[in-house]
Structure 1
Amino acid sequence: MPDRAAVGDRVGDADLVLRPVIHAGRTWWTPLRVLLAVTAVTFALGMVQKAGCYSKTWENSEGRYVQMCYSDLPYLYTGRGLAELDWPYSDDAQTRSRYEVMEYPVGIAYWAWGAAWVTHWLKGSPPMEPRHEAATDQLWSMPAVHAEIGPYVAVNALGFAILALAATWLLVLSRRGPRGSPWDVLWFAASPMLLVTGLVNWDLLAVTCVAAAIFAWSRGRPGWAGVAIGLGTAMKLYPLFLLGAIVILAWRARRWPAVGLAFLGAGLSWLLVNAPAMLGGWDEWKVFWSFNSSRGADLGSLWLVAQQVTGHTFTPHTINVWSWLLFGLWCALTLAVGLAARRTPTFAELGFVVVAGFLIVNKVYSPQYVLWLLPLAVIARPRWREQAWWQGAEFAYFALVWWYLGGFLAPGGGDQQPFYWLGILVRVAGELWLVGRIVHGWFPRVGSARDPERAADLASSPS
């Protein structure tokens, strides 16, 4: 039995515990099947965790915060024209006078509209005329619409469950061979953060694309990794930053064609997904970009803490300029450290560092944003203690943000919210700590055992 310290990060902690159980004899329960089953159980428990809100159709404004079962899905169903099956990027004057444009990237808008279409089909395709004639603030109370809200969330939840299973499958495939153990993915499959945040919004669409990018890169397919990144960027902006990880790895290996293939794949796939929205309503398509540009300091951000502590309101322009400058500096430091590292970083490690930097300086940190980091984190540092510390910090923030929104953290006098500020600082500290653990691993002690997984990552890098 090899010494655990000598083995290093080639296998995760879960591998040492579970591998003997699975391989004690021939069994149908392969690691992939076990992890898929764990993912299914985790996501099912996540749906149960939302049961309190589901049974009340998300009508109890206090209960959704007490039980931490809030979700954006039911409110946007009636608030963005989905209950009337209005195309998200329609430039029809009547539609735009009734509803705001979906403030998300196009991939999410397509999915949300498709889930609404499935919901209407399941409910017998009810007539739309009564809804068109009613005021938008009356839709929620209309019996037919009210009866669709629960099924709409359920349709999305089933789709999200499939996405979570697909992400697990892709991550397991990326760990085959000398790159690591499939059991590293346990910390994704059984993640408490996947359980509690999977149904808050549509972020799992982008998460699955990131898992696909990790898999494609592990197989030496930079073009397909770029395609996955482009598709993810059509769902959320953050997968775009993973191209930075590819640049660093290609720079170290002097394999510049990989960068061109990745950027080409990302650009073409992003454009293909965005084209219908661009052609159907250019002004509507631009709303995502203008909405985020005009947004001020929001939930979970250090900007909000600074604003509430100092009493000074930062303008959106000021936050935009400084957050992008700070993120640019973070990326420059990541580039310098990544090139100077004695051990070649992995794609997941670099991706985690870059995305974490973006989230730390960003103007908003919604509770489900932890999902952005989850697949990168479990591949970069598959150690249960490190995952427990990091995910524990994220869960602390998850709880405090709902209690903050519910008004349960307000002190007896004044408007200060120190407990919520503490939650934000704990979350940021957890991310910085895991970034430190990752970067520390790039500089092994002279004479220490070299990690075969990281050596294989360079050897398998696309040429």
Structure 2
Amino acid sequence: MRPDREAPTRTDPVASAMSEVLGGPVGDHAGGHRWWNASRALVGATSVVLAAGMATKAACVPSGWSKPDQPYAELCWTELAGASADAGTPPRVAAWIERLAALHPGSGTVSTTAGLAVLLAALALLTTVLLVRVDRRRPWAAAGWALGPVLLVHWLSWELVAAAGVAVLLWGWTSGRAWLAGVGAGVGAAFALPVAVALLGVVAVGGRTRDRVDAILAAAAAYVVVTLPGRATGEDPDLGSIWLLLEQLGVGSSGAARAVAQLVVLAVAAVAAWWGIRGGPPTPRASARAGLVLLAAALVVAPSAPPETALLLLPLAALAVRRWRDLLVWQGLHLVSWVLTGWYVGQALVPTLQDDGRAYWLAVVLRVLGLVWLVVAVLKDASGDDDAVEVGGGEADADVDLLADARDARP
């Protein structure tokens, strides 16, 4: 094992336990494989996850997503087929992409959705490759993206374009390509505006002032170009929003009051992000941490936060979070929230909960708790040593045949 590379099976308890199925954590003399490096292995894993995610939409294919409640009740909705959980729409550029996808053999909603899926799958694979390259010392950290349950259930959405933009932002900034980082953030923000907040967090770590200015200007230019044909805007609280929950509870608020609250929350998040990166080295993980804290805060107070917005956080979380346990807790809470949201919108709980918004309230609370768990985990890690601690390293195992293992590393 190369001393400059971190092995997840030796630094993460969850990865270490799961590796027992394949023989246990990597050994001191492991030579690796010439072809199966992290990039190729994780691209293969991403392909399997994408295929499984496609299969989860199979229940909606026979009807072509034409039934009003079925996509939500059976958790197979996708905005690519015109079934969105909220009233939001992607920028008008997405309509041009749909026309390109319509060239896919066949006709109708299912054919167009399949064509879009091919394009988005390519973006998801590219995102994996970029995340592997963000931190040369931790290439396997990209497994948090490649194997993420959130990717499995949400990748058939326009938010995947925004998530790919976040990956370009991370790779461009950490590799010294400030303008490319800005372009990635600008395109991502055009499809999901909270990505703009993540840009500020990522570029706050490392780089020169000129690099930050270049990145911000490039982001603004890319955003204008993508949204010039038109972009949907909505000021009223929509699905997934904590503001809609407050309205249903009878606690109304004006647009100005919401704006002030959003600024306050983002200011607190900025202070927390600064505290998390202060005094530490400008590492890729530190950039991801700062971006994650700000983006999570933006999603908490966003006027609309459908389940698919979790995809925006996944590239940042994969690199920023030290332990798989925290990644899985966040995604577990999110998936329960996603199920409740689908059942609520699809009226699958009727007549048990006729005209009862408590299922939606619980979904929002679980979503916010997951985001808080993620932020706390990141800030807690930032307060400690950034070097990984090996799990059980240096201890002999009575069940290991030392003579059989006493061989040189493979060339």
TM-score, normalising length: structure 2: 0.80
Which AA in structure 2 matches 1:221? R
Q: Residue deviations 1:278-314, cap 9 Å, x none? A: xxxxxxx2x52xx323xx22211211222222x3444
The whole-number CA distance in structure 1 between the counterparts of 2:330 and 2:245 is: 21
The whole-number CA distance in structure 2 between the counterparts of 1:75 and 1:273 is: 21
1:197 to 148, 151, 154: 154
- Contact 1:232–1:239 under 8 Å retained in 2: yes
- Contact 2:266–2:297 under 8 Å retained in 1: no
Partner of 2:402: none
CA 1:105–1:36 in structure 2 vs 1: closer, same or farther (change >3 Å)? same
Matched, 1:169 2:129: yes
Partner of 1:219: 175
- Contact 1:207–1:232 under 8 Å retained in 2: yes
The whole-number CA distance in structure 2 between the counterparts of 1:202 and 1:450 is: 34
Q: Residue deviations 1:215-253, cap 9 Å, x none? A: 112212222212221222233212211331245325xx7
Partner of 1:330: 268
CA 1:20–1:441 in structure 2 vs 1: closer, same or farther (change >3 Å)? closer
How far did residue 159 of structure 1 move?
1.0
Partner of 1:434: 374
Partner of 2:63: 56
Partner of 2:26: 20
> Any residues of structure 2 matched to 1:131-280 within 5 Å, and which?
147-176=107-136, 178=137, 180=138, 182-199=139-156, 201-250=157-206, 255-275=208-228, 277=229
Which AA in structure 2 matches 1:39? T
Which AA in structure 2 matches 1:159? L
The whole-number CA distance in structure 2 between the counterparts of 1:224 and 1:11 is: 32
Secondary structure class of the residue paired with 2:290: helix
CA 1:380–1:211 in structure 2 vs 1: closer, same or farther (change >3 Å)? same
The whole-number CA distance in structure 1 between the counterparts of 2:322 and 2:240 is: 26
Unaligned runs of at least 5 residues, structure 2 = 390-411
The whole-number CA distance in structure 1 between the counterparts of 2:188 and 2:125 is: 17
TM-score, normalising length: structure 1: 0.72
The whole-number CA distance in structure 2 between the counterparts of 1:347 and 1:355 is: 12
Query: How many residues matched?
Result: 375
Which AA in structure 1 matches 2:132? V
How far did residue 332 of structure 1 move?
4.1
CA 1:13–1:114 in structure 2 vs 1: closer, same or farther (change >3 Å)? farther
> Any residues of structure 2 matched to 1:249-398 within 5 Å, and which?
249-250=205-206, 255-275=208-228, 277=229, 285=230, 288=232, 291-293=233-235, 296-309=236-249, 311-315=250-254, 317-318=255-256, 320-334=258-272, 336-338=274-276, 340=278, 346-398=286-338
> Any residues of structure 2 matched to 1:378-457 within 5 Å, and which?
378-409=318-349, 412=352, 415-444=355-384, 449=385, 451=387
How far did residue 191 of structure 1 move?
1.3
Unaligned runs of at least 5 residues, structure 1 = 78-99, 124-146, 278-284, 454-463
How far did residue 338 of structure 1 move?
4.6
How far did residue 386 of structure 1 move?
0.9
How far did residue 423 of structure 1 move?
2.0
How far did residue 439 of structure 1 move?
1.2
How far did residue 155 of structure 1 move?
0.3
Structure holding more helix per residue: 1
Q: Residue deviations 1:102-159, cap 9 Å, x none? A: 942344343234323x24xx34xxxxxxxxxxxxxxxxxxxxxxx4111001001111
Secondary structure class of the residue paired with 2:108: helix
Q: Residue deviations 1:403-432, cap 9 Å, x none? A: 111223457577332233122111111111
Partner of 1:140: none
Secondary structure class of the residue paired with 1:441: helix
Q: Residue deviations 1:327-383, cap 9 Å, x none? A: 443344246525645565611111111110001011221111110101110110142
The whole-number CA distance in structure 1 between the counterparts of 2:40 and 2:273 is: 38
Secondary structure class of the residue paired with 1:370: helix
The whole-number CA distance in structure 2 between the counterparts of 1:349 and 1:229 is: 16
